């Protein structure tokens, strides 16, 4: 008899536990959906000369506010960052990492910041093909999956017009 009552109690407790778990999940899911991350990057070649170039990078946070940021991208033709301002920029092979400075790390939702750098190139200076803010791909939106469309860039000589690469949603 005791065994049967214990079994009944378990059956009553299990649905309550399941209901509590579902209610807890329902409370958590809307918060997670609102926490979608996103960013937009405007990469502009401000000047270019044989073997070198200057670039400006503007980063717009479309996700949750951040207190510091790290932007990463890759160069496709052996370009090298030689000097930077308004960010600490390091490079390992083709991979570039820019860390916020103490005065521009805080980015509210919709806020932007910018930094610049000089670089060198040999044989060509194609625009980067990917950017990520704090590890999240910059797609120009918060849902992801958009493919950026680059503005063509010259590969040699002097560039008289700026070339801009904007990662935006389509």
Domain coordinates in residue numbering, the chain = 1-34, 39-166
CATH fold, domain 39-166, is Immunoglobulin-like (2.60.40)
pLDDT value at residue 79: 97
Dihedral angle over CA of 115, 99, 141, 55, nearest 10: 30
Dihedral angle over CA of 58, 59, 60, 63, nearest 10: 180
Percent of the chain with pLDDT over 90: 58
- Tell me the mean pLDDT in the region 22-45: 57
pLDDT value at residue 62: 94
Bridge partners, 92 (sequence order)? 95
**121-160 burial by CB neighbour count: b if 16+ within 10 A, else e?**
beeebbbbeebbbbebbbbbbbeeebebeeeebeeeeebe
pLDDT tens, position by position, 123-155: 899 999 799 999 999 988 764 333 444 444 444
pLDDT tens, position by position, 44-87: 999 999 999 999 999 999 999 999 999 999 999 999 999 999 99
How many other C-beta atoms lie within 10 A of the C-beta of residue 52?
16
Residue with tokens 């960052």: 81
């Amino acid at each position: 008899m005791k065994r049967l009552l214990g079994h009944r109690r378990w059956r009553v407790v299990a649905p309550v536990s399941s209901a509590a778990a579902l209610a807890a999940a329902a409370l958590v899911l809307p918060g997670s959906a609102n926490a979608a991350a996103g960013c937009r990057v405007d990469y502009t070649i401000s000047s270019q000369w044989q073997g070198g170039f200057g670039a400006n990078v503007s980063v717009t946070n479309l996700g949750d506010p951040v207190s510091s940021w790290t932007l990463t991208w890759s160069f496709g033709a052996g370009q090298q960052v030689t000097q930077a301002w308004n960010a600490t920029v390091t490079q390992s092979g083709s991979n570039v990492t820019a860390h916020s400075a103490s005065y521009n790390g805080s980015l509210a939702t919709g806020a932007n910041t910018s930094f610049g750098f000089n670089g060198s190139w040999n044989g060509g200076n194609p625009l980067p093909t990917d950017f990520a803010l704090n590890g999240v791909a910059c797609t120009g939106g918060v849902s992801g999956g958009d493919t950026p469309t680059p503005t063509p860039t010259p590969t040699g000589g002097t560039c008289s017009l700026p070339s801009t690469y904007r990662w935006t949603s389509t």
